[in-house]
Amino acid sequence: NRLNYQAPILPVVTNMQSIDFDGAGGVNDLLIIEQNLGQVYLVLNNFGQIIPIVVRDLFTSGKQLITSATIFRNPLTGTNNLAISLISNPGLATASGQIITGTITGFGETTSLPRFRQFVASQGITNLMTGDFNNDAFDDLAYIDSISSTIAVTLNNGRGLFADTTTRETGGFTPVSATLFDANDDDFLDMAVVNQGSGTQGNQSLVSILFGDGKGQFQLTGSLLQVPNFALSVVGGLVSLSTNNGISQIVDFNQDGFADLAIVSTGVASLGGNDAASLTLLLNRPDSPGQFVVQPPIPLRDDGANTSLHLLAKLGGASIVSGRFGDSSVTSGLGFGGANQTLAVGDFNSDGNQDIVVSGTRLVNNLNFRSTIYLIGNATGSLARIVRPQRTMEYLGVDTNLMAGDTFVSSATVNFSGATLPPDAVHISVNGRIWVDNNRPLIINRAPNITIRREDLNAPMGMGRKEIVTIGQILTIPISGFDADNDPLTFRLVATPTGQQPPEFVTIRTLDQNSAQLTVDTGNLTRTPNILTNKIVVEVSDAMSNGNGGRQPLTARAYFTLIIRPNSAPTIAPIANQTLNVGQTTSINVNVSNNENKEVSLTASCDKGNFVRLMQNS
């Protein structure tokens, strides 16, 4: 009622995400969900092509609701395919969920036979996600269900079939948003699930962390993290953040090498028009990865202008498309399963720190206007601070019929300007209008990027980003850097955020403008019975550059854990006494073991002559 929205006439957009569907130009494609007309829009190459896709459950004649979509790699062709979640007869006893997959040409109402596949899902399916959950190199699917309060994983059989589905309950909580990331640094994908509060739990929502076992299963960790009010969206995992030549980075707000999360919540319904949404950061503990410290919530307010960003459905915010409104006075909305991507992360000012944008609505004289608030990150101080003014005027447009009575329901980070330029932000409103905050490339200096590849670290799969060395060994690790300004880079070892200094036996040498070599030389270490663990931090800087205007040098960091094992003596299994007659020959198996799995040299001697020889000396 507040938006005076005419749903039977206008589209109802509930979600949007940025993707790289066609492998051209970086993350410059969009996937948009529209529920009133029942369409998915695939927007390719900076709006170069817009493909509307009509999706239908061919076995059901009733109402059908598209709730989410994602892309996955086709294991047979190597190309990206679409996966779309759909609910037939929503809200009825006959409701059922479906996952529909296919190629671009396989969807739609065409004269040729559509090439698609359809798989059974639960009746409240939404927030479809892609990941390899059993480490077989095939993309699997996962989703949440706010009706049955479950999460589900459906595995790819290697031929694009998703029939092996496992569900687990969320403990009675109502999941509304989820993201995939490696929370505990074990190489396996984990899941963070945002569960909305009921208003009877101290007006709090709960975030649950589920650890993946690398075999397609997720296990609750037992810890429930409280965030304020009615949470809507979570962001985490791998994102394309900045001028990094298309390399994805983890969401890491305090730059300690471990993945963090950001949650956006509605305000408190009882406060009315002065209420503000809030942002809460969940910081991963470096001493216990997978355990999180909840930071104080940041009100999404512009104190200078005395304005707020709103998400509550009662106030015309993005909750109107979620199906969960955070207010008992609102019993119905415009959509279901939406508004779980109302925030996006990117290094918008190219300083090497991760920033956030949150989209929603702003009330002016009791009218709704599309609005956003940016928060600039600072890993060494206040982790995120509000940027003023709150952006509203920028989204008025020229159509007087669409100036007011609208709200943004989703935001995404994109590279419309190019993979080596500061990222842009794109927002979409409930009526399907898209606004792009096109980032100005005229930044004096852009932060460099640094990469230590997981495949260059020797820890077995399941141990995470670790290098394992035995005392006495010498090994090297390649380091690569990238600078969008083509500045010469220098590499160095620095202390961890907790103050741990780099060990003396680890050194780094810059090879050229964009690469370095790290050396671990444990040849002179004293033997110890204990395993030593060091967090290694490599920093890259463009400090050698002489930019315009005396620009400040910028840095980036990469992390891994160095594990040093003691060098224990090898052991030989007992050899039984042997009795031989003159002229006889016998062979004896010698069983040697070595805890470090190093090559062992063998020698043999006999005090009565030259009677014994080794057939193999190592």
Which of 57-61, 438-442, 448-452 has the lowest average pLDDT?
57-61
Res 273: pLDDT:
44
DSSP label at 310?
Answer: B
* Position 364 confidence tier, pLDDT thresholds 50, 70, 90: confident
- Is the distance from CB of 358 to CB of 373 less than 8 angstroms? yes
Does residue 85 carry a pLDDT above 70?
Answer: yes
Residue 596 located in a structural domain: no
Cβ 114 vs Cβ 108: under 8 Å: yes
pLDDT of residue 56: 74
The verdict on residue 190 lying in a domain is: no
Nearest-angstrom CA–CA distance, 47 and 59: 34
pLDDT band at 325 (very low <50, low <70, confident <90, very high): low
The whole-number pLDDT of residue 49 equals 86
Residue 324 inside a domain? The answer is no
The CATH number of the domain holding residue 488 is: 2.60.40.10
Q: Across the strands, what pairs with 49?
A: 44
CA 183 – CA 251 distance, rounded (Å): 11
| Domain end point (choices 148, 169, 190) | 169
Q: How far is CA 46 from the centre of its chain?
A: 23
Which residue has better confidence, 27 or 507?
Answer: 507
Among the ranges 38-47, 218-227, 322-331, 472-481, which has the highest mean pLDDT value?
A: 472-481
Taking 70 as the threshold, does the pLDDT of residue 355 lie above it?
yes
Instruction: State what percent of residues in the chain have pLDDT above 90.
Output: 41
Residue 75 near residue 67, CB atoms below 8 Å: no
Rg of the chain in Å (alpha carbons): 28
Q: What is the CATH number of the domain that holds 112?
A: 2.130.10.10
Compute the distance between CA of residue 458 and CA of residue 478 in angstroms, rounded to an integer: 12
pLDDT of residue 415: 84
In the β-sheet with 125-131, what is the strand arrangement from edge to edge? 125-131, 140-145, 150-156, 162-169
Residue 54: beta bridge partners? 39
Mean pLDDT, rounded, of the chain: 85
303: in domain: no
Q: Which two tokens stand for residue 321?
A: 């498309």
| pLDDT band with cut points at 50, 70 and 90 for residue 89 | confident
Find the distance separating the first CA and the last CA of the chain, reported in whole Å.
Answer: 82
β-sheet with 174-181: strand ranges across: 174-181, 190-196, 204-212, 218-228
Closest CA to 363 of 401, 406, 400, 328: 406
Q: Who has greater pLDDT, 494 or 200? A: 494
Residue that terminates a domain, selected from 549, 565, 581: 565
535 lies in a domain?
Answer: yes
The distance from CA 454 to its chain's CA centroid, rounded to whole angstroms, is 16
CA 169, 172, 176, 181 torsion-angle sign: negative
**Beta strands 466-470 and 555-565, pairing class:** parallel
The pLDDT of residue 200 is 44
435-464: burial string, b at 16+ Cβ within 10 Å, e else: bebebeeebebbbbbbbbeeeebebeeeeb
DSSP characters over 186-201: SSS-EEEEEEE--SSS
How many Å apart are CA 221 and CA 186, to the nearest integer?
14
**99 within a domain of the structure (yes/no):** yes
- Split into its structural domains, the chain has a count of 2
Query: Is residue 353 within 8 Å of 389, Cβ to Cβ?
Result: no
Look at 152 and 529; give whichever has higher pLDDT.
152
Rounded distance between C-alpha atoms, residue 469 and residue 565, angstroms: 6
pLDDT exceeds cutoff 60 at 351 = yes
pLDDT at 6: 52
pLDDT in the model for residue 563: 94
What are the structure tokens assigned to 189, written together? 């994908």
Backbone angles phi, psi at 501, to 5 degrees: -80, 150
Residue 232 has pLDDT above 50, yes or no: yes
Q: Which of 97-106, 214-223, 422-431 has the highest mean pLDDT?
A: 422-431
Q: Which domain holds residue 114?
A: 11-169
Q: Provide the Cα torsion 248, 322, 41, 98; round to 10°.
A: 90
Rounded-to-integer distance, Cα 415 and Cα 308, Å: 28
The yes-or-no verdict on residue 69 having pLDDT over 60 is yes
355-364 and 367-377 as β-strands: parallel, antiparallel, unpaired?
Answer: antiparallel
Average pLDDT over residues 150-157: 94
User: How many Å apart are CA 263 and CA 250, to the nearest integer?
Assistant: 16
Least confident segment among 80-94, 152-166, 239-253, 579-593: 239-253
Percentage of residues of the chain with pLDDT beyond 70: 87
Which structure tokens are listed for 188?
């396996």
Flag whether 528 is in a domain.
yes
Per-residue pLDDT tens for 251-284? 999 988 899 999 999 876 554 445 789 999 999 9
pLDDT of residue 110: 36
Is the pLDDT at 326 greater than 60, yes or no? no
Whether residue 501 is contained in a domain is answered as yes
> Of 125, 141, 169, which residue sits at a domain end?
169
The answer to whether residue 154 scores a pLDDT higher than 90 is: yes
Region of poorest pLDDT, from 107-121, 218-232, 462-476, 504-518: 107-121
Q: How many helices (H) and strands (E) does the chain have?
A: 0, 42
Per-residue confidence (pLDDT) for residue 501, from 0 to 100: 94
Q: Is residue 111's pLDDT more than 50? A: no
